[in-house]
Structure formats: structure tokens, C-alpha cells
């Protein structure tokens, strides 16, 4: 029945990789089922038979779909089916897109769709790696024009050694998580998160991944040679050469003048009359190709910018190749937020705001991996006004989600642990103005905002991008690219890190890949640039995290209690914990491992609540001082509750430093007083002294009163005669 069914097998980082084709998905242009360990990913590629009308770009869509059944789980919610893609799925879609897009013909306008569906999930074999390899196979064997194949691996660093496609146990202790995609000659994509890894270690890890990719590329080529289809023909969307040359000759000098400024607004104003003049002249000459006139003008601008860079080492704003735009940093911009930082680089400007929340405010994750919660959250907003446009806001798109995730990844290694800083942390980067590298600007603004909020980060982090121009064997890099250099250049190599090392990398290319020399130079230049940004700009605005939190931020303290004591703190039906929260005006979160987080607006209330928790968990000891509530009044003294379920007697002789004739002269029911534990008798009964607590805490001196001493000597008899404690 399945006469075209084929199975191809190889070993990938010590685990079996099995590819099945021809059995399913008969109507797609290309498809395969990839089995890596017990991870199974289905990949299908389809292409429209005709170009899409009226577009000036290649319409490629990549969707990475996570199915809950892959993990043996039924989705939550009323519908009990998968909803919109998780942020993780969107990020993986972008990672798959980046290395394959430059390998499609640039003049093709046929819609191409790639759908990767995770059908079985093995935590030891990352599905995103299987999806990238499967995408490369499906494209290679399809009839869709594509200049592949590629391969991709994950590189970890465990005990100082590089590990290709680390399993879950290795990933949990790895110092870096680097995804490297390669062609048979060049490095096509890098996506990295790292725990402040030195540049040379990162470079060596990238090269280890590139080398590991080569065997899989050979494997894919063998599959393509056996079952690959001939690529279909398509109509080119490129303008005719004579049309381009005519428009270039007519407009080139005016465009040179228009581009030669460091102000994006001035540049766009200068270009408007040039576009009008070109259309006025050439619409009649090329009536059937009028829509391609703008393409010719775009190509003319690209030609000018690239010639300036390659031939004259000239940048459109007059900077040197290693020179950054003017930089500025400010903190404390907004008065009532918990922290804020404004970072400006040329005409790119980012305001990041920090909000500190309770542990219970952490984000609940619903992906197929093992991460269930997230206490550090970074959101990135890119409103249309940041580029001078008037589009309505429709929520975050893939670009916003991707840039927010990159900034988040860059800062994760320096965020203090929950034990060190028991808060949920949310950062929001608002892009106020955009002219290149807003994602890296948001990293800088976020560091400023965190320090302004008093978050004790381990080290400040800065981000910067490096561009590239190539022509044959010629190439050169430039640091801190602005929008025009990104549009017309070949690379946007983003690197974030501290003085000591790298925390994140994201590499976007418009060419097939980079040589090792290009990667090494980009790492060197970005390290030098981020050192300058940190020392000369950011740390001059705020040299270290503030010692105190904002008065508007919740105050929080934490401790760890034995797991078997959690029930006592919560109480039957939650009565004990609810009572503590009500009395102290705090919120208490208790985790399954015994971590207790107490939060509120008043630090003293938090401390009091924590004292109560500790008293419940730990038996009171003589000499300890507590704040307790008077629950009952007797002739011989007052009963004081120092914690729910733990009550002691403060004898009348111990109520004050002076003689007390009547208990109600000093305290009444519901009064909150400080008491010191003086004794726990052999029956576990607690004796308390307000007198001793006042002497110790407030330094009061007792009166020399013999009658008071006689009362002290007789209190035990009176106390023992009453058994209703």
C-alpha cells in the first residue's frame, strides 16, 4: 500500500535518529516523521503553485505546534484542546525560520508553509532539534526551491566539557544552552543563553556544534539523493536589469544626499520627493511593472549603503566602523513604580519598568516541557509610534515575544534566587523610539531598572549588536548598527553579557552563513562595546543596586520549615494561616518543599507574622521574646497567645516593672504585648513575663518592692490551682 515508504537511520549524539517518509502526508510538497529517542516530530512543507500578488517579500510561515498528548496530558480550560501557541512554541518557530529563510530564492513570491508538530515528547531528546532537522529533510526532498540542507544541534557545557544535545539531567546543570544551525560550509544561526560564559568558551562551543552538524548534513544529502524531487520553476519577481539601471541612474545622487544623515526623520523626509519624482517619470515608461519601481528604489538605496561601507568605510550617519551612537542612561524616571530605567542609543530609546510581586504572582506555564512556573518575566512592547507610524495596537506579535524572550534570557543568569530575593519580578520594556537594536537597548534599560528597584543582581548586563557586509570574499563588520544598516546589511549579531562573559546571543542572517573568523570578530567587537556601555554610561547613572526597595513595593521575608510542619501552619481548613494573615495584614505563601514567603506593605508586620510561623514550627525556648495577644484575664494574671495554639500565662507579678494591684490596670483582652518566655514546665506549660521583656527590650528598671517579690514567690501556687490554661 505504501510503495514509497522509506526509513532512514543514523546516530545523533549517541542516540538513534530515525526518519520515515512516504507513509503519511501524501499531498504535501514534502514531509517526514522524525524519531529522536522517544521524541517524535512530524514536519510538512507545502507551497502555493503561483506567486502571491502585490507582495514585495518572500511569504514564508513556520509553525511549531506542541500537542499536550505528546506528554500524556489533557489540556486545561473549558474546551480541553490546545489554544494559541505558547511563547516557547513561538520562539522555536522563530529559531527554525532564521537559518532556513536565507536559503530560499530571494525573488520567489510563492507562499511556503512549514508545520512542525510535536507528537511525542522525550525530555532527553529536545523536540526543537528534531523539528529543525525534520524541516531540513522535508524541504530537501520536496520540489520547493531551497538551497539547503542545514542541520542543528544543542550545545551544553557540563563540568567544563561541551556536550552535544545534552539530556535533561545534563541540561539542568549546564552552564550554557546554545543552538547552532549550519550548512555544510558555514554557521547559519546561533541562539544562546549562558551563565556568564567567557567569549572564547562560547566560540569553541559554537564551533563544536558546527562540527557536529556536518554528519547530519551528510545524512540528509543521502536522503535527498535517493528520494528528492526536482525543484519547481517559479516566475522571478526581480525587476528587469535595464529598468533598475535606468531608475538608479536617474535617482542615485539624490538618494545619496537623502541617506547621508544621522536623523531617521530627516532621511525619510528627503526620500519622499525622490519617490514622487521617480514615479512621475517611470510609471508611463513601465506601465506593466509600476509596482516594481519601489523595489528598484529600495535596491538603489541598498547599493549605495553597501558601496559606502565596503569601498569607503563610510556609515550613513558618519560614524566609524567601531563607533557607537550617542548614549545616555537615567533611572528613577517614574515616581510610584518599583523601579525604572531609560536607555538611549542614538534614536533608539527604551524605558523599562520593574514591578516586584509576591511569590504567588509567578507565571504558570502550560507548555510540554518541565517548566511549570516562572518568577522572572520580561515583556517587550513595540508600539507603532516608535517608528513614526499610526497602526493600532493589536497585542504582541512574534517579534515582540521574541525580543522580550531574548532580553529575559540575557538577564536570567544575574537574577538572584528566590531564597536570596523572594519576589516575583516583572520587567516591561516600552520602546519609545526605534532605529535599530531595540532588543539590546531593552537589556540595558532593564539592568538600570532592576538596580533602581533594589534587586540585588549579581552583575550588570549590557547588550549590543554587530553588523556585516559581504561581497564575494570581502567582508567587514560594524558595531551598533542602526535600522538602515540592518535592512541593507547581511547580519544582525546580538550579544549580551557582563564584563566577565556572555549571557545571551541571537544571530539573524540574510546570507547563507558565517565563517569562523566572522563569528570570532563579532564576539570580540561586541565584548569591547558592552564594556564601554557598562563603564561609561550605565554604571555612571547607577553604580550598584539600591540598598532599599521602593516604599511602594511589597516587603517580603522568607524561611524554610520542615515539610511535616506545613499542616500545623496552615491549620484545619486554613484557619491558622488565615488568622495570621488577618492579624498581621500580610499574605503568606507556602510551597510544597517548605519554603514560606511572608509579604505585606509593612516590614514589621511581616516580621511579626514570621515570628508566629516560627513559633508554631519550633517550640518556644526560655529566653525567647514574642509579640502576643491577650486572650483571657484572670485575677492572678493574663493568658497570652504567642502563636495559634500556643498560649502561656503571664502572672500578675510579671505584668509590669512596678507593682500591679489589678491585671486590668495593665492589660485587657485583645491587647498585643511583648513577653519573654521564662519557663516551660515539665507539663509543657509556658510561663511568660512582660516585665522581663520590658527590661530587656526597652531598658526599664524594676521597682524595689518586697510585696512584689512576695507575689512572685506565691504565683506558682495560684497558677497551679487553675487548670483551665
User: What pLDDT sits at residue 724?
Assistant: 39
How far apart are alpha carbons 444 and 630 in whole angstroms?
A: 53
User: Do the Cβ atoms of 460 and 372 come closer than 8 Å?
Assistant: no
User: Do the Cβ atoms of 66 and 119 come closer than 8 Å?
Assistant: no
| Tens digits of residue pLDDT in 678-698 | 999 888 899 999 999 999 888
Residue 721: which pLDDT band, with cuts at 50, 70 and 90? very low
Say which CATH topology domain 554-618 has.
Ribosomal Protein S8; Chain: A, domain 1 (3.30.1370)
Q: Over range 625-642, report the average pLDDT.
A: 92
User: Do the Cβ atoms of 248 and 300 come closer than 8 Å?
Assistant: yes
3-state SS string over 693-713? Answer: HHHHHHCCCCCCCHHHHHHHH
| Tens digits of residue pLDDT in 272-328 | 999 999 999 999 898 878 778 999 999 999 999 999 999 999 998 889 999 999 999
User: Do the Cβ atoms of 608 and 627 come closer than 8 Å?
Assistant: yes
Above 60 in pLDDT, residue 434?
Answer: yes
Q: Rounded to the nearest 5°, which phi and psi values hold at 446? A: -70, -40
Residues 6+ apart with CB under 8 A from 266: none
Pick from 53, 28, 56: nearest CA to 42: 28
| Tens digits of residue pLDDT in 331-361 | 999 999 999 999 999 999 999 999 999 888 8
DSSP letter for 220, please.
Answer: H
Pick from 628, 710, 622, 618: nearest CA to 669: 628
Lowest mean pLDDT: which of 301-305, 521-525, 604-608? 604-608
Say which CATH topology domain 327-541 has.
Ribosomal Protein S5; domain 2 (3.30.230)
DSSP letter for 336, please.
Answer: S
* 154, β-bridge pairs: 179
User: Do the Cβ atoms of 132 and 159 come closer than 8 Å?
Assistant: no
What number of residues does the chain have? 725
DSSP letter for 235, please.
Answer: -
User: What pLDDT sits at residue 228?
Assistant: 96
How far apart are alpha carbons 67 and 540 in whole angstroms?
A: 48
* 491, β-bridge pairs: 468, 509
User: What pLDDT sits at residue 722?
Assistant: 35
User: Do the Cβ atoms of 341 and 449 come closer than 8 Å?
Assistant: yes
User: What pLDDT sits at residue 80?
Assistant: 87
Comparison of pLDDT for 610 and 77, the residue scoring more: 610
How far apart are alpha carbons 25 and 20 in whole angstroms?
A: 11
Q: Strand, coil or helix: what is 4?
A: coil
Beta sheet of 376-381, edge-to-edge order: 327-331, 339-345, 348-357, 424-433, 376-381
Above 50 in pLDDT, residue 712?
Answer: no
Above 80 in pLDDT, residue 701?
Answer: no
Which CA distances in Å does 197 have to 201, 496, 535, 590, 722?
7, 11, 20, 35, 69
How far apart are alpha carbons 354 and 525 in whole angstroms?
A: 30
Residue 422: which pLDDT band, with cuts at 50, 70 and 90? confident
Pick from 62, 50, 61: nearest CA to 109: 50
| β-strands 151-158, 176-182 pairing | antiparallel
Give the global pTM: 0.85
Above 70 in pLDDT, residue 492?
Answer: yes
Lowest mean pLDDT: which of 60-74, 120-134, 354-368, 381-395? 354-368
Dihedral angle of Cα 695, 697, 700, 706, to the nearest 10 degrees: -10
Q: Over range 173-185, report the average pLDDT.
A: 97
Q: How many helices (H) and strands (E) does the chain have?
A: 17, 29
Q: What is the CATH number of domain 6-227?
A: 3.30.230.70
Residues 6+ apart with CB under 8 A from 348: 325, 433, 434, 435, 436, 437, 438, 441, 482
Which CA distances in Å does 468 have to 81, 322, 450, 497?
45, 12, 32, 20
Handedness of CA 309, 311, 316, 317 (dihedral sign): positive
Helix%, strand%, coil% for the chain, nearest 5: 40, 30, 35
Say which CATH topology domain 241-312 has.
Arc Repressor Mutant, subunit A (1.10.10)
Above 50 in pLDDT, residue 31?
Answer: yes
Is residue 88 reached through a cis peptide bond, with omega within 30 degrees of 0 on the bond before it? no
- 6-227 against 327-541: fold identical: yes
Q: Strand, coil or helix: what is 335?
A: coil
Which CA distances in Å does 78 have to 73, 81, 597?
15, 8, 32
How far apart are alpha carbons 462 and 449 in whole angstroms?
A: 12
Comparison of pLDDT for 449 and 240, the residue scoring more: 449
The domain over range 620-725 is classified in CATH as 2.40.40.20:
no
Q: CA-based angle 528:529:531, to the nearest 5?
A: 70
Residue 709: which pLDDT band, with cuts at 50, 70 and 90? very low
How far apart are alpha carbons 479 and 309 in whole angstroms?
A: 12
Above 90 in pLDDT, residue 412?
Answer: yes
How far apart are alpha carbons 45 and 2 in whole angstroms?
A: 20
Above 60 in pLDDT, residue 497?
Answer: yes
How far is C-alpha 567 from the geometric centre of its chain's CA atoms? 35
C-alpha distance across the termini of the chain, in Å? 85
Residue 704: which pLDDT band, with cuts at 50, 70 and 90? low
Percentage of the chain lying above the pLDDT 90 cut: 76
User: What pLDDT sits at residue 717?
Assistant: 33
Q: Strand, coil or helix: what is 42?
A: strand
DSSP letter for 149, please.
Answer: -
Q: Rounded to the nearest 5°, which phi and psi values hold at 543? A: -75, -20
Mean model confidence pLDDT for the chain: 92
Above 60 in pLDDT, residue 509?
Answer: yes
Above 90 in pLDDT, residue 700?
Answer: no
User: Do the Cβ atoms of 371 and 168 come closer than 8 Å?
Assistant: no
How far apart are alpha carbons 493 and 495 in whole angstroms?
A: 7
| Tens digits of residue pLDDT in 538-559 | 999 999 999 999 999 999 888 9
Pick from 496, 499, 525: nearest CA to 190: 496
User: Do the Cβ atoms of 663 and 635 come closer than 8 Å?
Assistant: yes
Above 90 in pLDDT, residue 619?
Answer: no
- Within 10 angstroms of residue 326's Cβ, the number of other Cβ atoms is 10
Dihedral angle of Cα 400, 403, 404, 406, to the nearest 10 degrees: 160
Q: At what angle do helices 293-307 and 264-282 cross, to 10 degrees?
A: 130
Q: Taking the domains of the chain in order of start, what are their residue ranges?
A: 6-227, 241-312, 327-541, 554-618, 620-725
Which stretch of DSSP H or E encloses residue 437? none
User: Do the Cβ atoms of 184 and 513 come closer than 8 Å?
Assistant: no
User: What pLDDT sits at residue 81?
Assistant: 87
How far is C-alpha 105 from the geometric centre of its chain's CA atoms? 33
Handedness of CA 595, 599, 603, 605 (dihedral sign): negative
Q: Over range 236-244, report the average pLDDT.
A: 91
Q: Over range 99-119, report the average pLDDT.
A: 97
DSSP letter for 201, please.
Answer: H
User: Do the Cβ atoms of 19 and 7 come closer than 8 Å?
Assistant: yes
| Tens digits of residue pLDDT in 269-284 | 999 999 999 999 999 8
Q: For 579-661, where are the E strands, in sequence order?
A: 587-590, 595-600, 625-634, 637-643, 646-651
Most confident of 195-199, 436-440, 713-717: 195-199
Amino acid at each position: 500500500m505504501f510503495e514509497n515508504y522509506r526509513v532512514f537511520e543514523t546516530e545523533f549524539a549517541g542516540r538513534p535518529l530515525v526518519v520515515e517518509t512516504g507513509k503519511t502526508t501524501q499531498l504535501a510538497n514534502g514531509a517526514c516523521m522524525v524519531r529522536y529517542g522517544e521524541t517524535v516530530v512530524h514536519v510538512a512543507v507545502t507551497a502555493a503553485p503561483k506567486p502571491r500578488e502585490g507582495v514585495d517579500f518572500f511569504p514564508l510561515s513556520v509553525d511549531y505546534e506542541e500537542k499536550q498528548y505528546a506528554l500524556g496530558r489533557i489540556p486545561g480550560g473549558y474546551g480541553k484542546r490546545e489554544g494559541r501557541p505558547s511563547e516557547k512554541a513561538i520562539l522555536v518557530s522563530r529559531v527554525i525560520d532564521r537559518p532556513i529563510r536565507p536559503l530560499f530564492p530571494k525573488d520567489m513570491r510563492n507562499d511556503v508553509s512549514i508545520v512542525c508538530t510535536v507528537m511525542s515528547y522525550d525530555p532527553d531528546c529536545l523536540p526543537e532539534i528534531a523539528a529543525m532537522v525534520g524541516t531540513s529533510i522535508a524541504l530537501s526532498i520536496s520540489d520547493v526551491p531551497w538551497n539547503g540542507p542545514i542541520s542543528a544541534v544543542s550545545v551544553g557545557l557540563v563540568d567544563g566539557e561541551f556536550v552535544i544535545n545534552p539530556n535533561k539531567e545534563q541540561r539542568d546543570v549546564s552552564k550554557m544552552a546554545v543552538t547552532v544551525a549550519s550548512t555544510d560550509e558555514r554557521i547559519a544561526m546561533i541562539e544562546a543563553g549562558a551563565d556568564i560564559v567567557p567569549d572564547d568558551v562560547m566560540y569553541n562551543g559554537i564551533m563544536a556544534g558546527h562540527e557536529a552538524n556536518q554528519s547530519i548534513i551528510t545524512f540528509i544529502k543521502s536522503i535527498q539523493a535517493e528520494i528528492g524531487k526536482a525543484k519547481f520553476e517559479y516566475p522571478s519577481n526581480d525587476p528587469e536589469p535595464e529598468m533598475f539601471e535606468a531608475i538608479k541612474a536617474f535617482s542615485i545622487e539624490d538618494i545619496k544626499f537623502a541617506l547621508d544623515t544621522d536623523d531617521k526623520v530627516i532621511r525619510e523626509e528627503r526620500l519622499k520627493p525622490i519617490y514622487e519624482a521617480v514615479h512621475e517619470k517611470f510609471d508611463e515608461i513601465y506601465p506593466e511593472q509600476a509596482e516594481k519601481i519601489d523595489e528598484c528604489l529600495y535596491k538603489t538605496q541598498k547599493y549605495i549603503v553597501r558601496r559606502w561601507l565596503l569601498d569607503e568605510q563610510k556609515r550613513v550617519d558618519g560614524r566609524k566602523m567601531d563607533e557607537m551612537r550617542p548614549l545616555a542612561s537615567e533611572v528613577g524616571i517614574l515616581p510610584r513604580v518599583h523601579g525604572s530605567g531609560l536607555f538611549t542609543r542614538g534614536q533608539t530609546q527604551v524605558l523599562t519598568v520593574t514591578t516586584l510581586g509576591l511569590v504567588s504572582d509567578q507565571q504558570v506555564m502550560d507548555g510540554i516541557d518541565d517548566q511549570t512556573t516562572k518568577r522572572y518575566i520580561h515583556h517587550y512592547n513595540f508600539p507603532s509610534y516608535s517608528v513614526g507610524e499610526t497602526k493600532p495596537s493589536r497585542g504582541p506579535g512574534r517579534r515582540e515575544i521574541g525580543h522580550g524572550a531574548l532580553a529575559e534570557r540575557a538577564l536570567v543568569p544575574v537574577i538572584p534566587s528566590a531564597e536570596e530575593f523572594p519576589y516575583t519580578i516583572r520587567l516591561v520594556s516600552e520602546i519609545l523610539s526605534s532605529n535599530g537594536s531595540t532588543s539590546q537597548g531593552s537589556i540595558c534599560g532593564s539592568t538600570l531598572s532592576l538596580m533602581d528597584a533594589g534587586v540585588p543582581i549579581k552583575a550588570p548586563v549590557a547588550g549590543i549588536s554587530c553588523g556585516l557586509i559581504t561581497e564575494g570574499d570581502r567582508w567587514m563588520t560594524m558595531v551598533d548598527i542602526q535600522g538602515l544598516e540592518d535592512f541593507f546589511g547581511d547580519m544582525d549579531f546580538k550579544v549580551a553579557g557582563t564584563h566577565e562573559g556572555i549571557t545571551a546571543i541571537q544571530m539573524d542572517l540574510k546570507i547563507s552563513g558565517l565563517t569562523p573568523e566572522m563569528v570570532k570578530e563579532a564576539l570580540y567587537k561586541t565584548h569591547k562595546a558592552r564594556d564601554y556601555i557598562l563603564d561609561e554610561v550605565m554604571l555612571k547613572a547607577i553604580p550598584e543596586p539600591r540598598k532599599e526597595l521602593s516604599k511602594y513595593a511589597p516587603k517580603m521575608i522568607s524561611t524554610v520549615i520542615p515539610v511535616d510542619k506545613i499542616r500545623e501552619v496552615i491549620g484545619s481548613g486554613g484557619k491558622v494561616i488565615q488568622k495570621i494573615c488577618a492579624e498581621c495584614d500580610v499574605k503568606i505563601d507556602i510551597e510544597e518543599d517548605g519554603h514560606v514567603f511572608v509579604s505585606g506593605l509593612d516590614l514589621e508586620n511581616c516580621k511579626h507574622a514570621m515570628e508566629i510561623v516560627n513559633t508554631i514550627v519550633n517550640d518556644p525556648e526560655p529566653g525567647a521574646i514574642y509579640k502576643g495577644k491577650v486572650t483571657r484575664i484572670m485575677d492572678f494574671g493574663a493568658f497570652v497567645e504567642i502563636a495559634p495554639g500556643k498560649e502561656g500565662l503571664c502572672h500578675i507579678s510579671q505584668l509590669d516593672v512596678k507593682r500591679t494591684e489589678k491585671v486590668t490596670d495593665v492589660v485587657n483582652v485583645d491587647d498585643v504585648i511583648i513577653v519573654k518566655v521564662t519557663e516551660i514546665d515539665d507539663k509543657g506549660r509556658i510561663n511568660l513575663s512582660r516585665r522581663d521583656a520590658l527590661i530587656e527590650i526597652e531598658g526599664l528598671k524594676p521597682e524595689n518592692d518586697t510585696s512584689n517579690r512576695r507575689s512572685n514567690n506565691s504565683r506558682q501556687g495560684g497558677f497551679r490551682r487553675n487548670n483551665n490554661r
